[in-house]
Amino acid sequence: MSNLSPLQKARYAYEPKLPEVLRDDIANITAALGNPTKSVADQIQLLDLFPLTYGAPVVRFTKGTNPETGKTRKIGVILSGGQAPGGHNVIAGIFDALKKANPKSVLYGFKGGPSGIIDGDFMEITDEIMDAYRNTGGFDIIGSGRTKLETEEQFEKSLQVCKKNDIDGVVVIGGDDSNTNGAVLAEWFKKKNSGITVVGCPKTIDGDLKNELIETSFGFDTATKTFSELIGNIEKDANSAKKYWHFIKLMGRSASHIALECALQTQPNVCIISEEVKEKNMSLDDVVEGITDVIVARGAKGLNFGVALIPEGLIEFIPEVGRLISELNDLLAKEAEYFSTLKTVEDQREWINHELSRDSSYVFSSLPRSIKMQLLDDRDPHGNVQVSRIETEKLLIELVGEQLDRMKLKGEYNGKFSALAHFFGYEGRCAFPSNFDSDYCYGLGYSAFLLLSAGLTGYIANIANLHKPANQWIPGGIPLTMMMNMEQRHGERKPVIRKALVELDGAPFKAFAAQREKWAVNTDYTFPGAIQYYGPTEVCDQPSKTLKLEKGA
């Protein structure tokens, strides 16, 4: 460890704070069962798909006894999907709880994501290995992957790997898709009377894996604080140089939670919320006009600079562009073989324009060439456009610039417009987790073990009361089926965990909406600075503004 930075050494030694009930002797913690539950929608279909795990009760951990806690166990853990700060601490929470319950128990890490359980590729996590990753960012302890557990062949291979190695519990650390796959795996294992329990943990920096019981997904707090530090730095530079408009695209596949949280932390001049664009049926021209109005208003005050935040998924929420993308997804899915024979860009564009509806063809033709290419680029595992590759920030810069040029010709604008584009995403996915995420993830790992030890399968670990100090947090678990509905995927209706989008009648959006007109024309930037790990609680341990507003704190 001689090559470690001082911060790394200090973070290895940090002891995460646990909820009061989890501080007790682990043999004195029991699972208190609530009332039966139902899914958020499509109850009949989901009951048919999950007859053995549907409708299970919400669980809260309380003082009591569980004679099964001390049983010798072998548990496997999977990191699934994109990285999120705190994943290592979830594993640390599982490891420590497992070893406290019985030092002879073993924790395995499946390598490279879900493919590890299919292929039987795993490693034992020892004290020495675990201690080298505590309170650090990244998923490099065992790696992650995006293989989907969705076929009977995969389930059967996973079952045989677990049986062969006496693994009696599996923890899936992932987002909505990963935990949906975990729910299907839990149902399969139970159908086979395997005795193997499967539980999940809520991971994603996007913030869209939440509901009334899952208050936030881990990683969101750290990622938004990291992005907000960078945005604050750019705001300080913009106000110093006074000559650039910075268009900053922020990661977040569908929901605008990241953009909204960063706006609340930094008070930029513009922040687009995709859900509002869709709700108001705003066209691309409307979005461009709204940004242009702010630039003109600031220019009239001699302020030819500013900061605009753009959510990654915006392009899909603009109605006419969303329809175009939907048509492209269907068209390229059905005609993938023929499309692959078109060797030139011109041939591809000509064929696309011929096959699209009139309105979508018009929208496609009006887009810059670079955006057209990005729309036709490689598809994601669902066969959809890879939104993260679409340079929406550059598209808006180009369209706003054209609008301002037209206004100049008419004598309606005489200010300057010089813009720079940024995309913040990977910068936050593997950051050192904040104290909040370090504590939260450790508690989630602890809770995941307790769910497994109670024989509760098809659950996701959760902790409530997160706006309070950690000792007042309330740990437990909720059935994965409770969060699910049916959605169209690859032309079929499939069970999925419902994504949580920004609620326009929610407290975080209302707090933003009440101030944005003022932030637009003034330079009221705030500068969060770097994440602080040591110092006063009000500086180091605070949750996100989104969470505090949602809880009325």
Active site residue ranges? 206
Q: Please give the Cα distance from 300 to 389 (Å, whole number).
A: 35
Cα 517 to Cα 269, 273, 291, 293, 536, distances in angstroms: 8, 14, 12, 11, 33
In 3-state terms, what secondary structure has residue 438? helix
Question: Exposure pattern of 200-211 as b/e (b: 16+ CB <10 Å)?
Answer: bbbbbbbbbbbe
Count of other CB atoms within 10 angstroms of residue 418: 11
| Kind and range of the H or E run holding 279 | helix 274-279
Residue closest to 309 by CA, chosen among 415, 384, 234, 370: 234
Torsion of Cα atoms, 338 then 340 then 343 then 349, to 10°: 70
CB-based burial label for 415 (10 Å; 0-12, 13-18, 19+): middle
Count of other CB atoms within 10 angstroms of residue 185: 26
415, 300 Cβ separation under 8 angstroms: yes
Longest pairwise C-alpha distance within the chain: 81
Query: HEC profile for 364-423?
Result: HHHCCHHHHHHHCCCECCCCCECHHHCCHHHHHHHHHHHHHHHHHHCCCCCCCCCEEEEE
Q: Please give the Cα distance from 175 to 85 (Å, whole number).
A: 13
For 58, the token pair is 């919400």
82, 204 Cβ separation under 8 angstroms: yes
430, 83 Cβ separation under 8 angstroms: yes
232, 204 Cβ separation under 8 angstroms: no
Contact residues for 363 (Cβ-Cβ < 8 A; gap 6+): 284, 320, 321, 323, 324
End-to-end alpha carbon distance in the chain: 41
